[in-house]
Amino acid sequence: MLETDDPAPRRSADSSAPRRSAEPSAPRRSADIRQRVVRTNGVDLHVTEAGDDGPLVVLAHGFPELGYSWRHQLVPLAEAGYRVIAPDQRGYGRSSRPEAIEDYDIHHLTDDLLGLLDDLGEEQAFFVGHDWGSMVVWQQALLHPDRVLGVVGMSVPYPPRTPIPPVKLFRQVFGDNFFYILYFQEPGVADAELGADPATTMRRMLAGIRMAEGTMPDPAMFAPGGGFVERMPEPDGLPDWLTQDELDHYVEEFTRTGFTGGINWYRNFDRNWETTAHLADAKVTVPSSFIGGKQDPVLMMTPPSIGHSHLLDHRGDVLVDDAGHWVQQEKPAEVNAALISFLDEVRLGDTTTSTSSRS
């Protein structure tokens, strides 16, 4: 079941999306999955691809995830007529893991994704992000709108710019209480805790991030002192959407790589703020959409509407029932339908189609 929040389409005078075709995407069958390494922007990115032609769709994962997190989207999107690429982003999986913290700032992350377009000979693409990947693709639409056909955020709505550097703001808000982003700031601390037992870390994170609607987070999550993983409940078992083999894949990869690469993204919050001052008044002019799970605790603290005024051509929010934070893995059929609806709508240039029809 999908629940939608569909604001009236809002467009700026220069925000019409480039289109490759006036016809709907031709369905494809039996799309093959391919893997390779792309050398770009000073790093090697391991990528998984599907589809041979059609508009390009770049899928950007979050923390702690991999390109593997899009395993349920690659073939359906390719069969719908799109060329799809999902990288292990820098710091993750089989991609490079630079040592310098500043090598994980928003400019490196967005440029990595543009490098994939360059490698494929594409001028533009749709960018779809989940969790931290959402923040990357939202910023991509601000930094390089000429290369963005449309943008979709999942689980993390568009974040308006804070009045002061984010980490400084979090310290003011949380004081001596625990907040995971603040905990992640000190190099080596969270890295060691999460990496001490990757199986426990991944099991608790993937199987436990969900809240009943209308409830508030457990106050123990913010109690001073202690670490991050220890605050998360141990699940009774794996949810229906996650098999043991799938969990094992994550565990094997993070056992091999550790978590430092992904945590370093968090250590650039203030740097990102400082280096994007020129975007303080910028708006997202390309077509946009948001997809989230109704039981995602992130959305209970930051509802999708928080960024609507910054999205000039927003096509609506799709909230998926009985889904938590890992929405594209938990409810792939619903997410794929919403994604393809948005992609086709933008490709056709139809600004009248309501997201309330996505079901």
The question of whether 72 is a catalytic residue gets the answer: no
Q: Which of 151, 148, 163 is nearest to 114 (CA)?
A: 148
Q: What is the pLDDT of residue 213?
A: 67
Q: What is the pLDDT of residue 224?
A: 87
CATH fold, domain 2-159+272-357, is Rossmann fold (3.40.50)
Quote the CA–CA distance of 76 and 31 in Å, as a whole number.
8
Give the rounded distance of the alpha carbon of 66 from its chain centre.
Answer: 11
pLDDT per position as a tens digit, 32-63: 999 999 999 999 999 999 999 999 999 999 99
Domain layout of the chain by residue ranges? 2-159+272-357, 166-270
Q: What is the pLDDT of residue 350?
A: 55
Q: Exactly one of 46, 107, 130, 325 is catalytic; name it.
A: 325
Task: Indicate the average pLDDT of the chain.
Answer: 89
Q: What is the pLDDT of residue 271?
A: 98
DSSP letter for 288, please.
E
The pTM for the full model equals 0.89
Q: What is the pLDDT of residue 11?
A: 32
The question of whether 131 is a catalytic residue gets the answer: yes
Q: Exactly one of 103, 111, 131, 313 is catalytic; name it.
A: 131
pLDDT along the chain (359 residues), means of 10: 42 33 44 95 98 97 98 98 98 98 98 98 98 98 98 97 97 95 97 98 89 69 88 93 98 98 98 97 98 93 94 98 97 98 91 40
Quote the CA–CA distance of 154 and 134 in Å, as a whole number.
6
pLDDT per position as a tens digit, 291-341: 999 999 999 889 999 999 999 999 999 999 999 999 999 999 999 999 999
Q: Which of 103, 101, 156, 149 is nearest to 133 (CA)?
A: 156
